[in-house]
Amino acid sequence: GGCASLADIRAWNRQNLLQLSTGASKVDVLRIMGTDTISAEGSVITNPYRSELYRSEARTFELMLYYTDIKKADGAITDDELTPIVLIDGRVDGWGWSYWDDLCCQ
């Protein structure tokens, strides 16, 4: 944990995204992005903020979502304020909503 503002958390996560590379393991992502739970401005932010798992017949897809943006200062953290890191079979394949949309909705 730590003492930070929501802006600090967003900036930290955006900066750490720059250190990711495709092929990295989930352990690498957690090391780079951090696993802290931070109280800031009345909110509790965890890294990752949320994870989702999807399975197809051939592969496992995991989205690790990190708080990176603010669209509306309303106290709610919505999906468009998160950046997904997409892991396929435990390895980073890419990140960002446009990447996920292209991958899942082909």
Note the pLDDT tens digit of each residue in 2-36: 568 899 999 999 999 999 999 999 999 999 999 98
Taking phi first (over 0 means left), then psi (-120 to 50 degrees means alpha), and beta for anything else, what does residue 7 get?
alpha
Which of 36, 41, 20 lies closest to 83, judged by CA?
Answer: 20
Task: Using the structure block, give the residue that is written with the tokens 């051939």.
Answer: 58
> Model confidence over 59-88: pLDDT tens digits?
999 999 999 999 988 878 999 999 999 999
Q: What's this model's pTM, rounded to 2 decimal places? A: 0.91
Exposure pattern of 42-58 as b/e (b: 16+ CB <10 Å)? eeebebbbeeeeeeeee
